[in-house]
Amino acid sequence: MKPKLLIIEDELSVAKQLRWGLDKEYDITIATTVKQAKPLLASGVFRVATLDLGLPLTRTVRNRGFPFWKRFPPLPLTAV
């Protein structure tokens, strides 16, 4: 069984490219918002996650989202 990977990315085209490149090694789920990602991460099912550092935040997630990620270290991804 493949390990589970959570891709947290609001640009669906980028998320699909990540899925295309990683789906041979991982069972992939995509979350497009912090609101979608929180319960998925809390489930404890995912061994690893990627994070779009430019992900739009909600009113409850301040400081560019970093306090939320302290409990779950993601692999940050961003385009330059």
Give me the domain span that covers residue 10.
4-77
User: pLDDT truncated to tens, each residue of the chain (80 aa)?
Assistant: 899 999 988 899 999 999 999 999 999 999 998 889 889 988 889 878 888 877 766 555 544 555 556 666 666 666 65
Q: What is the tally of structural domains in the chain?
A: 1
Contact 67, 58 (CB under 8 A): no
> 17 — phi, psi (to 5°)?
-65, -40
Q: Domain of 61: which CATH number?
A: 3.40.50.2300
Cα separation, 1 vs 13, whole angstroms: 26
Q: How far is CA 16 from CA 8, 39, 55, 63, 72, in A?
A: 11, 21, 16, 27, 23
Query: Which two structure tokens, joined as six digits, stand for 26?
Result: 């991982």
